[in-house]
Structure 1
Amino acid sequence: MRILVTNDDGINAPGLVVLREIAEALSSEVWVVAPETDQSGLSHSLTLNDPLRLRRVEERVFALRGTPTDCVIMGVREVMKEAPDLILSGVNSGHNISDDVTYSGTIAAAMEGTMLRVPSIALSQGYDWDSGAEIPWNVARVHAPDLVRKVIDKGIEPGILININFPSCAADDVAGVQITRQGALTHGLFLDKRDDGRMNPYYWLTYRRQPQNVIAGTDMDALQQNYISITPLKLDLTADEAMKRYSDLAE
């Protein structure tokens, strides 16, 4: 099995080291194409106005001046001699759950792999960012290899990507695995207005934690109970339930 590994936190991210270990537990042929710098929050963006610069780091490991989506295309179309059998994206620093999946470069890389007809899995590790606690990478390191293997054995349908999130706890405290729905977050992005030395305004996007209505059966609910969350996501965004509402508009 040939595995392509990527992420959105960049080529030097500790989560990429963890993901390489996970991939190498599954296969003897692991390729890495990851962004040269942190690309968090860029979602499914492409680099269209600048060239893509590829740098060889070591055998089968490359850094690309581009987005996670660019990295998947580069890996599949250029770097690998044969198409991968599996794409793994992550391990992201922090959960990618609920509405956050729409922002995530980690998820986007798995989406691009799915569009290229390669089974793709995104992996993210939760941590308590409020307290500045260390990220418990060992949860993903311990539990991911067997879990990914089981997902592969079950099969991943065309047009579907798998989003796996690991809870913020010790590896031994994981309660189990739940198959979950995508939850919904209360929007937490705000603007922090500041002035530069010439009193011209500029802004930082900031995140403020908001009260959440956690629904049973969702990714948020599972992770709060220290379960690993597996959420199948689909590329087809059609709201089938709304089509009937607008059916009389058709001519």
Structure 2
Amino acid sequence: MKILLTNDDGIHAPGLAVLEKLARTLSDDVTVCAPAEEQSGAGHSLTLHAPVRLREHGGRRFSVTGTPTDSVNLALRKLFPEGMPDLVISGVNAGENLGDDITYSGTASAAMEAALAGVPAIALSQAFRDNGPSFSATEGWGAKVLAALVKLTMAKRTLVNVNFPALPADKVRGIRVVRQGFHDYSRGSLVEATDPRGRPYFWFGLQDAEHTLDHGTDLEAVEDGYIAVTPLQLDLTHYAAIDTLAAQFAEGDGS
């Protein structure tokens, strides 16, 4: 099995080192292609107005001067001339990607880019809390989660988003397959300050954003000490609204 690894925290991120160890429990054919610098919050952005450079670090490890999407896009086109990889795994992100955070996540977006190219894709994220960063849950449970997911036949344009709780591995309560939850971003923080030249600046934060802990969501699962496994689809069409919209426009066109 040919596996491509990427992330949004950068080529030197500790979470990527954790992911490399996990991937090698599945295959010896592992390629890494990740951003040269941290790209957290980059979402599904693609660099269009500047050149992107690829640097080799040895041992099938590469960095890209661009976004997570650039990294996957370039890797698939340049590093796999004889055919696509069998799997793309993105992560392990330093911090959870739960609920609608997925829309901002470079980790999830890298997996989305692979899914758009027809390659099975998984995004892995590790929640942190005030006691500091620890990948214990991922290190203890990641191989088990991945071993189950690689047996899955994924539908086209889908991916799997996995979040590990901020707990030691022996405190994790198990695995839940759940739906995407939602946050209340109206309460997200905004810090306003002045730089040394007297000019105002703003810094966005999510510290005050509230979780909507509906039953059966990824937010609830991680809060309860479980690993959250969520299948995602890239078709954003709201099918329930199609007939209503069509009827609305038909009223005025004389048909």
- TM-score over 0.5 (shorter chain): yes
* Corresponding position: 1:102 with 2:103: yes
Q: Retained in 1: the 8 A contact 2:189–2:208? A: no
After TM superposition, the score normalised by the length of structure 1 is 0.95
Give the deviation of 1:213 after TM superposition.
2.9
Matches within 5 A, 1:37-186: 37-81=37-81, 82-128=83-129, 131=130, 133-186=131-184
Q: What residue number does 1:236 align with?
A: 235
* Residue identity in the other structure for 2:243: K
Q: Distance in 1 between matches of 2:197 and 2:150?
A: 57
Shift of 1:225: 1.1
1:64 alignment partner AA: V
Residues of 1 paired with 2:100 and 2:46: CA distance?
21
Off by >4 Å, runs of 4+ in structure 1: none
- Distance in 1, matches of 2:210 and 2:42, equals 25
Shift of 1:175: 0.9
Deviation at 1:152, TM superposition (A): 1.6
The DSSP-based 3-state class of the residue aligned with 1:172 is helix
- Is this contact kept in 2: 1:47–1:70, CA < 8 A? yes
Moved more, 5-14 or 81-90: 81-90
Percent identity (aligned): 42
| 8 Å CA contact 2:2, 2:87 repeated in 1 | yes
Unaligned ranges ≥5, structure 1 = none
Listed one character per residue, the Cα deviations across residues 203-247 of structure 1 (whole Å, up to 9, x for unaligned) are: 222222234331010001111111111100000000112223212
Distance 1:243 1:36, change over 3 A: same
Matched, 1:2 2:33: no
CA distance in 2, matches of 1:234, 1:64: 26
Whether the 8 Å CA contact 1:163–1:230 is kept in 2: the answer is yes
Return the offset for 1:127. Answer: 1.1
Distance 2:152 2:103 in 1: 26
Render the CA deviation track for 1:77-112: whole Å, top value 9, x for unaligned.
002343210000000011101010000000000000
Cα pair 1:31 1:80 within 8 Å, conserved: no
Moved more, 182-191 or 114-123: 182-191
Equivalent pairs, count: 248
> Where does the alignment leave 5 or more consecutive residues of structure 2 unmatched?
none
**Following TM superposition, by how much is the alpha carbon of 1:58 offset from its aligned partner in structure 2, in angstroms?**
1.2
Structure 2 residue 234 is matched with structure 1 residue 197: no
CA distance in 2, matches of 1:109, 1:212: 24
1:23 maps to what in 2?
A: 23
Counterparts of 1:226 and 1:197 in 2: how far apart (Å)? 44
Cα deviation for residue 149 of structure 1 reads 1.7
